[in-house]
Amino acid sequence: MRLLGGFFVLLGVGLFVAFGADEALGAVLFRWNAALLNTTQAVVQRYLLPMLWDDVLLPILEAPAWLAPGALGVALSLLGWMRARG
Amino acid sequence: MNIMKSRPWNLPESCVTPESLVFGRRKALLLGAGALAAPGLAAAQEQGLPPAMRNTRYAPGRAITAEREVTTYNNFYEFGSHKTISPSAQRMPQRPWTIKVDGMVEAPREFGIEDLLRRMPLEERVYRLRCVEAWSMVVPWTGFPLAALLTEVRPLASARFVVLETAAMPAVMPGLRQSWYPWPYIEGCTIAEAANDLSFMVVGAYGKLLPPQNGGPIRFHQPWKYGFKAGKSLVRITLTDQRPISFWEKIQPQEYGFWANVNPEVPHPRWSQASERVLGSGERIPTQLFNGYGEFVADLYSGLQRERLWA
């Protein structure tokens, strides 16, 4: 778990360095693959739940690109550290 | 010697209603409202859709889809990518509303929607609509040919394309939060396609004002093309000599091109276009070339075989 946490922390740092503090995750993903988000949105809103996109995934995509992987990485690292300490 | 006795029911010639008013219901209603000098009544008339005669030239050959189906199953990405956007779309204000027509024209203008409802030659047309997602519906639209609107601004001879721009209202359109998409929604066609009589500016459906979820107060429709080519809730029409790159062309150019004419033999990259599901009945029927409007539009594309006409 700490290894996974470390990976996401590094990913967050990498995204911060590459795209700066403000670039939205959605914008980064759109630049990488313009069709990806549209297809994902269609699948989520049509086959799962429209609100899942609007209220959960969209806020993550609107946040700075480094924030989600960085926060996830820190959380996983902390959990791993707590488990290791017993 | 004739002695003319006036009967009580005799009326002088000056009281006879002019023929143009008797046979022009829409104008007669508007003038009648004005003559009553009742501002409330006139306002009520202006807020509704003037009556329009059905144009029987373009008979759909299929039953009209139930209004409820058409007004509750919508593609309008500014409000979300699911089909039940109608409650959200209802929050979009429809008045006041203006549409600017500019670019390569002699007389650029901005039209108020009420002005268009009064001035344009409104008629009802029952068109088939074929969505690129392989479903279809038949809708009685009220509107006027795009050519009639373009006549008002007098296009320059150098204009080759028409660009249609949809409203972008972040306060009521949650889809615009996805700032990475190339808003506003842009679509376009050639001047020749725009001049075709089938190219229709829609202001009503089922005898009522066009609801926002269907693209109210004014949208476009070319029934021989896939539905995504029809810009909704239009705020601007620009004539240009540059071929526009549409919203979907920017996002998924392999799937959604400029021409997008209906062709059952050219599949979408992820599904067949050979048949379509009829909204309401759920029946699957074969899709027709140019959505069945080939006799009116096929000649537009002679000499364009090298273009990607079908997606």
Contact B251 A38 (CB under 8 A): yes
Beta strands in B85-227 (DSSP E): 98-103, 109-112, 123-130, 135-145, 161-166, 186-190, 200-205, 208-209, 219-221
What are residue B221's DSSP bridge partners? B200
Chain B positions touching A50 (Cβ under 8 A) are 80, 82, 84
Confidence of residue B47 (pLDDT cuts 50, 70, 90): low
At B226 the pLDDT is: 98
pLDDT in tens, B62-89: 999 999 999 999 999 999 888 999 999 9
CA distances from B26 to B34, B48, B143 (A): 13, 11, 13
Q: What is the value of ipTM here, to two decimals?
A: 0.76
Residue B136: CB partners within 8 Å, gap ≥ 6? B128, B129, B130, B276, B277, B278, B279, B285, B287
pLDDT of residue A1: 82
Res B43 pLDDT > 80: no
Does the beta carbon of B87 lie under 8 angstroms from any beta carbon of chain A? no
How many cross-chain Cβ pairs, A to B, lie less than 8 Å apart?
43
CA B267 – CA B265 distance, rounded (Å): 6
What residues in B contact A64, CB-CB < 8 Å? Answer: none
- pLDDT band, very low/low/confident/very high, at B4 (cuts 50, 70, 90): low
The predicted model gives B278-291 an average pLDDT of 97
| Chain A residue numbers touching B181 (CB-CB < 8 A) | 30
Model pLDDT for residues A70-79, shown as the tens digit of each residue: 999 999 999 9
Residues 255-294 of B with CB under 8 A from A: 255
pLDDT of residue A39: 86
Nearest-by-Cβ selection for A27 from B174, B177, B180: B180
Verify whether the Cβ–Cβ distance B180 to A58 is below 8 Å. Answer: no
N-term to C-term CA, chain B: 82
User: Sign of the CA dihedral B76, B80, B84, B87?
Assistant: negative
User: How confident is the model over B135-180, as pLDDT tens digits?
Assistant: 999 999 999 999 999 999 999 999 999 999 999 999 999 999 899 9
Structure tokens at B135: 């479903």
Which residues from chain B sit within 8 angstroms of residue A25, using beta carbons? none
pLDDT of amino acid B2: 56
Chain B residues within 8 A of A35 when measuring between CB atoms: 251-252, 255
Q: Could B178 and A42 be called an inter-chain contact, meaning their C-beta atoms sit closer than 8 Å?
A: no
Q: Mean pLDDT score of chain B, rounded to an integer?
A: 88
Q: How far apart are CA B225 and CA B47, in angstroms?
A: 31
Contact: A61, B178; criterion CB under 8 Å: yes
Model pLDDT for residues B202-241, shown as the tens digit of each residue: 999 999 999 999 999 999 999 999 999 999 999 999 999 9
pTM value > 0.90: no
Task: Inspect the interface and report whether the beta carbons of A26 and B251 lie closer than 8 Å.
Answer: no
More confident residue, B284 or A48: B284
pLDDT of residue B27: 45
Residues of A in contact with B174 (CB under 8 A): 54
Report CB contact under 8 Å: B179, A26.
Answer: yes
**Interchain CB distance below 8 Å, A54 and B174:** yes
What is the model's pLDDT at position B36?
41
Closest CB to B81: pick one of A24, A27, A42.
Answer: A42
Q: Is the dihedral of CA B46, B49, B52, B57 positive or negative?
A: positive
| Cβ contact, residue pair B180, A38, below 8 Å | no
Specify the pLDDT at position B39.
40
- Using beta carbons and an 8 Å cutoff, which residues of A are at the interface with B? 24, 26-27, 29-31, 34-35, 37-38, 41-42, 45-46, 50, 53-54, 58, 61-62
Nearest to A62 among B82, B177, B181 (CB): B177
- Cα–Cα distance between A61 and A52 in angstroms, integer? 12
The beta-carbon neighbor of A35 closest among B83, B177, B252 is B252
Q: What integer is the mean pLDDT of A2-28? A: 91
B255: chain A residues, CB-CB within 8 Å: 35
Terminus-to-terminus CA distance in chain A, angstroms?
A: 14
DSSP 8-state code for residue B100 = E
* pLDDT for B38 beyond 60: no
**pLDDT grade, residue B7 (50/70/90)?**
low
CB atoms within 10 A of CB B260: 24
Percent of chain B whose predicted confidence (pLDDT) is above 70: 85
Dump pLDDT digits (tens) for B88-120: 999 999 999 999 999 999 999 999 999 999 999
The answer to whether the Cβ–Cβ distance between B174 and A42 falls below 8 Å is: no
d(CA B39, CA B271): 55
Render pLDDT for A23-72 as a digit per residue (tens, 0 to 9). 999 999 999 988 888 889 888 887 888 889 888 998 999 999 999 899 99
| Inter-chain CB proximity B179 and A54 less than 8 Å | no
